[in-house]
Structure formats: structure tokens, C-alpha cells
Amino acid sequence: MKIHDYVLVVVRNLRETCDDDYVNVLRQQGYHVEVIPAGQDPIPVMEARPPIAACFQFDYPDLQGLADLREAKKRTSSIPLLMITQAHSEHLAVWAFRARVWDYFVHPIDMPRFLAVFETLRSVRLPGQAAASGKNALDLQNTIPPEARLRCPAPGGQQSQLDRALAYLDQNLHRKIAQSEVAESCGLSTFQFSRLFKRLTGDTFQEYLLHRRIAEAMRLLANPKVSITDVCFTVGFRDLSYFTRTFQRYVGQPPSRYRLSMAESAAQSSSKPAIPTPAPGMSPEARIDKAETSLSPSS
């Protein structure tokens, strides 16, 4: 199979705009980049002209977009897939690696590591390169860094404090959350926590919390058995009209239209996995877990 000297970017954004500066960086480094827009199937292109790698670009990953990535990996298993996302969670990262993506990047992208991955992939996959030495380089690039193996963050370290805060948010997303209570759970003052959170995440606490609520709402809306009102309250909103306005501002369409567009998209392609029907009496969170489990590749 002939590998072609280009990078394929598969756009699966839910909003019209998304940070894609990495595309310009790749082009500046001499890579030819081709883009598959949202709504277009990338598999025919990947099968006809296998690229060095394919980047699946998400702003807020939804069930349909993740299903597209999994289907591409299934149909073109030899092509390395990279996942690039604005919305990030530990659960999403675990899903990505279970889906056998080659690497996973969160905005803002670590450009030195990003370019190093492509440099290695290019040297391995293009004809005329030394396969053996390239394979060794590729393995080296994708191994756990030695310092990560030898050192663990101290219990009171900043990253540990942030991880504790993010876990606290996920566990309490259904209710009103004050920044002061999260700061207290991390053993910090509100001012210290605010500075730490902004520096490590790039967002203010309130910005991150709102993005997280909307991302979770999008996941819940993937299940037609969960009412929009239930979604609203499950992700911590207390007013349906405010939830609808906020959702539309971030996603570009109201929750009802977003859910309908997902159903229409799924109906257009019978090859796409259907959203599983949850058992009666399951909580919204359990239903989402069931839906995501259906996307996990077979072991």
C-alpha cells in the first residue's frame, strides 16, 4: 500500500469555528495538509490515498463524531489517527486510547511534541526510509517518559490539586458549585485557587465549569430517552430557558435541534452505530456510560 505525503485533517466540530492553528504550523513546516469538512466521510479518501496520519479535530466530541473516528480506525487500521480536542476529560482520553488512536492532543496543543510525532511518522511511513530505525524511533516517541515513570506528583503538588478540583467538579456537576468550596477542597484560598486554575487550564473557573456543563449536556442529549429537562438539571442548570440560551450560544443550535440533527445524521448512514436503548430506570449518567461503552473497541 502506497503512503502519500500529506496529512489529512477530519473536521468533526459542532461549532463553525475552532482553533486550528496547528494546521498552519504543519504547513509552515512543509507538510501538505488536506481537510475533510464536517459531514463528509473521510474513509474513501483514506482508502484511496493513505496519508501519513489523519487528525480527527473536535471542539466538543459527541457520540456521532466519536463513532466516525472508531469506524475510520476499523476500516483503515494501518493509518495512525490523532485526536485533537478542545473539550477534555479523563474519561474521553481513556476512550480515545481504547479506540487505538496514535496520540491525543488537547488545546492549547503542545506544538514541539505535536511536530515531533509527525516528524517520526513521516520518516517511518514514507517509502525509501529505513523501516527498522524508524520503528525504533517511533516506539521511543510513544513510550512513557522516564520522568513520568520514576516520579509521582507530591500529594500537595499543584497538578494534584488541580486533579482534585476537576474530580470534585465532575462529582458535583448536577448542583450549584461555588469556587470557594472547590478551593477549600484543595486546601487553597479562593485567590490562590483562581490563579492556579487559570494558569494550569487556560480558563477561569467559571469558564471551565460552563464548558464542562455544556459538554456533559451534549453527551446526555445523544440518548433520545433522556428528556431535555432532565439534561438541564443533571448538568447543574436550574432554569430550562437559560440552559437553552446558553447551549445555543456555545453549540450554535438549541438542545432540541442539536438532538434532531444527531438523529438525522445517524439515519443517513446505516453503517453508523446506533445509540443503544437504556434499560428502564437507569439514571442519565448510567445511560451515557452505556452509550459510550458501545463505542469502545472490542478487546
pLDDT in tens, the chain (299 residues): 789 999 999 999 887 666 678 999 999 999 999 999 988 999 999 999 999 999 999 988 888 899 999 999 999 999 999 999 988 877 788 888 888 899 999 888 889 989 998 998 888 888 665 443 344 444 434 444 443 433 444 455 788 888 889 888 988 888 999 999 999 988 899 999 999 999 988 889 999 999 999 988 988 888 888 899 999 999 999 999 999 999 999 888 999 999 988 888 767 754 444 444 444 445 444 544 554 554 444 43
Q: Which residue reads 487528525 in cell numbers?
A: 55
pLDDT at 16: 67
Return d(Cα 31, Cα 25) in angstroms, integer. Answer: 9
Return d(Cα 133, Cα 144) in angstroms, integer. Answer: 19
Sign of the C-alpha dihedral computed for residues 229, 234, 235 and 238 taken in this order? positive
pLDDT at 90: 75
pLDDT at 219: 84
Burial code (b: 16+ CB inside 10 Å, e: under 16) for 26-53 equals beeeebebeebebeeebbebbeeebbbb
Return d(Cα 43, Cα 119) in angstroms, integer. Answer: 24
Q: Determine contact, residues 81/36, Cβ cutoff 8 Å.
A: no
pLDDT at 138: 42
pLDDT at 17: 62
